[in-house]
């Protein structure tokens, strides 16, 4: 008899192919500012509406032989590739979590009680697939994709409620940084204060009290291709612009620090501000999600500002900031930070493969989108996080 966990692997593999079909719509329409819902799928050449059976993942492309049913225009192989890749990764990640022992807390908890966490992780995986393809093609990461993963991450505290009333209640103590992002009360206070500071910064930005960075398009030299990705490096005043971003982050740092000091530390407890229960797990899990979002994005933003000030060229993109913020919200601040420091090794490998060793040595490399490296590093950490942490910091887990 097939087990529930194995059934979930098979089902999610099929479901992943269907999600991949939707991701193809996202990849094509979102960068163009089009709706992903309307109009229904149609041929981009003759604009005729596709039959429902032409949209069957992978198989539809095969029986059409890669051509439109009506005008015979070629259909990009990207469509079945994205669908198949999504299905394989959905099934593969589920298999890793529940059958390999790489993430034993999932196997011990079981899919029946940990499905909210699995669903959030798969949503992040889908968003990373879309972000990877778009960034590789257009050198942008649409914010709607990263915001989707960030909002969905808020469903992870639901796993705590399920665990409290289910058979996995005894495993809750092991969820610290292993199944869901959880922090202590001091970290929760810090996250809530910093989150309030972020709202303040957004309000100040909306009212014009804080200027928007890189708002002015620089003048391009004659004969320059406006679509050249290297043009992100030609802004005449990058140091001035990132200082505006540092100003934006100031309220986040100030309010986060104040909340941590006055409510989460001994001073707060002396004056009665730290009087919440010691272990409200649902609140701490919400704090873990929020802290992961802030730290995941904050680490990348710090490198962006510091690198730009140091080298005088825009270092990394704000899309990468939002991407790692979403990653942090889903897998926690520690694992997101780990993924960020794994990503350069993948980036170096990508540069060597795409441009060659000689081009690297001669300094003739082109701009390489960094989002795919961040996504690949995140997937590696999601799979091997226990082994990596056991090697780097034995006993941390």
Q: What angle do CA 98, 104, 108 make, to 5 degrees?
A: 75
Q: What is the DSSP letter of 337?
A: H
HSE value, Cβ hemisphere, 13 Å, CA-based, for 163? 28
Domain count, the chain: 1
Residue 37 lies in a domain: yes
Residue 124 lies in domain: 1-168
> 53 vs 298, which has greater pLDDT?
298
CA dihedral sign, ordered 335, 339, 341, 342: positive
- pLDDT score for 328: 97
- Residue 348's SS3 state is helix
Report the 10 Å Cβ neighbour count for 219.
Answer: 8
Among 54-68, 114-128, 261-275, top mean pLDDT goes to 114-128
pLDDT digits (tens, 9 = 90+) for 61-104: 888 888 888 788 888 889 999 999 999 999 999 999 999 989 98
pLDDT averaged over every residue in the chain: 83
Residue 252 lies in a domain: no
Average pLDDT over residues 32-36: 87
Proportion of the chain above pLDDT 90, given as a percent: 48
pTM of the model: 0.88
- Report how many helices (DSSP H) and strands (DSSP E) the chain contains, helices first: 15, 0
Q: Which two tokens stand for residue 144?
A: 């709607």
234 vs 231: CA distance, rounded Å: 5
> 88 vs 4, which has greater pLDDT?
88
Residue 143 lies in a domain: yes
- Residue 132's SS3 state is helix
Residue 284 lies in a domain: no
Query: What does the chain come to in residues?
Result: 397
| Confidence check: pLDDT of 275 > 50 | no
Q: Label residue 234 by pLDDT band (50, 70, 90).
A: low
End-to-end CA distance of the chain: 34
**Phi, psi angles (nearest 5°) of residue 49:** -65, 135
Q: What angle do CA 180, 183, 187 make, to 5 degrees?
A: 145
> 101 vs 109, which has greater pLDDT?
101
Proportion of the chain above pLDDT 70, given as a percent: 82
Identify the residue whose tokens are 């206070």: 189
- pLDDT score for 272: 41
Residue 270 lies in a domain: no
Residue 222 lies in a domain: no
- Residue 128's SS3 state is helix
DSSP one-letter string for 62-101: HHTTTB-TTT-PBPPTHHHHHHHHHHHHHHHHHHHHHHSS
Residue 99 lies in a domain: yes
């Amino acid at each position: 008899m097939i087990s529930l966990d194995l059934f979930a692997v098979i089902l999610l593999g099929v479901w992943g192919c269907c999600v991949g079909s939707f991701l193809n719509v996202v990849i094509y329409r979102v960068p163009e500012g089009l709706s992903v819902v309307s109009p229904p799928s149609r041929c981009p050449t003759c604009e005729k509406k596709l039959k429902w059976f032409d949209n069957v993942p992978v198989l539809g492309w095969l029986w059409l032989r890669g051509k439109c049913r009506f005008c015979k225009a070629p259909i990009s192989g990207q469509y079945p590739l994205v669908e198949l890749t999504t299905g394989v990764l959905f099934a593969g990640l589920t298999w890793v979590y529940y059958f390999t022992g790489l993430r034993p807390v999932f196997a011990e908890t079981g899919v029946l009680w940990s499905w909210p966490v699995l669903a959030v992780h798969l949503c992040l995986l889908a968003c990373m697939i879309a972000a990877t393809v778009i960034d590789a093609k257009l050198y942008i990461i649409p914010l709607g994709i990263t915001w989707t993963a960030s909002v969905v991450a808020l469903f992870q505290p639901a796993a705590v409620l399920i665990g409290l009333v289910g058979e996995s209640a005894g495993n809750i103590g092991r969820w610290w940084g292993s199944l869901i992002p959880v922090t202590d009360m001091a970290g929760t206070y810090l996250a809530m204060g910093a989150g309030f500071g972020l709202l303040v910064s957004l309000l100040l930005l909306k009212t014009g009290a804080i200027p928007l960075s890189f708002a002015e398009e620089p003048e391009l030299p004659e004969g320059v291709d406006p679509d050249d990705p290297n043009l992100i490096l030609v802004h005449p005043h990058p140091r001035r612009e990132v200082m505006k971003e540092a100003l934006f982050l100031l309220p986040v740092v100030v309010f986060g620090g104040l909340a941590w000091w006055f409510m989460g530390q001994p001073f707060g407890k002396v004056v009665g501000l730290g009087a919440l229960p010691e272990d409200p797990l649902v609140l701490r899990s919400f704090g873990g999600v929020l802290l992961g979002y802030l730290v995941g994005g904050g680490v990348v933003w710090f490198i962006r500002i510091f690198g730009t000030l140091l080298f005088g060229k825009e270092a990394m993109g704000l899309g990468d900031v939002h991407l790692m913020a979403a990653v942090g919200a889903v897998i926690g601040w520690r694992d997101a930070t780990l993924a960020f420091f794994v990503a350069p090794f993948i980036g170096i490998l990508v540069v060597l493969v795409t441009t060659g060793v000689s081009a690297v040595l001669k300094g003739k490399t082109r701009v390489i989108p960094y989002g795919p490296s961040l996504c690949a590093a995140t997937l590696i950490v999601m799979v091997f996080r226990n082994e990596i942490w056991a090697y780097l910091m034995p006993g941390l887990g």
